Amino acid sequence: MKILFYDTKPYDKETFEYLLPDFPGISIDFLKTDVSPKTATLARGYDAICAFVSSNLGKDTLDVLHECNIKLLLMRCAGFNNIDLETAKKYGITILRVPGYSPEAVAEHAIAMALAVNRHLHKSYIKVRENNFSLVGLMGFNFFKKTAGIIGTGKIGAAMAKLCHGFGMKVLAYDVYKNPDLDFVTYVELDELLASSDLISLHCPLMDSTYHLINKDTIEKMKDGVILINTSRGGLIKTEDLILGIRARKFFGVGLDVYEEETPNVFEDRSDEILEHSVTARLLSFPNVIITSHQGFFTLEALEAIADTTLSNAKSYETGSLISGNIVNP
């Protein structure tokens, strides 16, 4: 099987090439450019393409991939909301993803962001580098004996709940399905979680029912001085309403590894650009907001798991024995 790998970063190439000898018969050509209607033509002559959560896999791109006889789309990520599933189904394109690679990686990043905004680590780092050792403006609060609200208790949410429990926090959770492994968690309705939590962390998928779950109305129901963390999907939060909440001093701090406007920014160096009329720039202007570049997954263990699962998906397609849990469009 010949795979064309789009939007290659050095760490992608290194990890996949390291594991490739374990999958004889599979070859990969790596491209730095991402897939789009224009670059999809490069897939002609390949059996599959490999793309990421930020790739453009809308109808126009899939039209071209179909013309190039691509029948397999390998997603090296869990998310697939960037794919036009109806068009893929129409063309008989099989989509395989990596549903879980390292839940602990994302959960640990979420708790790191919560700690950073709570203890103002981003501000204190800069102050000390400028020989300013004053503690003014750096006061945080103990997580011990506070309440954490976890929205979504799948693998990542469960890992986050365990970390919060380890800090001595009371853990509330909201999910359609209760996780039987979390016997220390109290499941409540969303309104109660919002009103009771000192720390709220989002770990649910982006669907019609969760789109803009955090909005003006739900923000008003939160405690004053709450910390909000999102390492899941940007569309869970209505950014304009979040900005209004920050300006109204509703939040002690906000940590975002994902956000609605992230697509042109994720994994790219835009340091020489001026982000005019940018929601990102507005968020970055607030002293109690930390934004990271979709790096929650970015650990050695997670990258190796992503590469191994992606290559296993390719092998399973080739042998006609698809891994059922990895299929996006059965």
Do residues 225 and 201 touch, judged by C-beta distance below 8 A? no
Q: Could you say which of 86, 262, 304, 318 is catalytic?
A: 262
> How high is the pLDDT of residue 253?
98
**Annotated catalytic residue, options 76, 109, 120, 294:** 294
**In angstroms, rounded to a whole number, what is the distance separating the alpha carbons of residues 43 and 70?**
7
Beta bridge partner(s), residue 289: 254
- The C-alpha angle with vertex 112 and arms to 171 and 250, in degrees rounded to 5, equals 65
Tokens of 201: 């962390």
Contact between 313 and 96 under an 8 Å Cβ cutoff? The reply is yes
- The reported pLDDT for the residue numbered 157 is 97
What 3 state SS string does 34-56 have? CCCCCHHHHHCCCCEEEECCCCC
Distance CA 123, CA 138 (A): 8
Q: How many residues does the chain have?
A: 330
Q: What pLDDT, on a 0 to 100 scale, did the predictor assign at position 160?
A: 98
52 neighbors 297 (Cβ within 8 angstroms) = no
Hey, is 228 helix, strand or coil? strand
Residue 90: per-residue pLDDT: 96
pTM (2 decimals)?
0.86
Query: Catalytic site residue 129?
Result: no
Q: Which stretches of the chain drop beneath a pLDDT of 50?
A: none
d(CA 126, CA 167) in angstroms, rounded, equals 27
203 is catalytic: no
**Of 312, 294, 213, whose CA–CA distance to 257 is shortest?**
294
Distance from the Cα of residue 214 to its chain's centroid: 16
Nearest CA-CA partner of 232 in 214, 220, 217, 249: 214
Indicate which residue of 233, 270, 276, 318 is catalytic.
233
Q: Is 120 an active-site residue? A: no
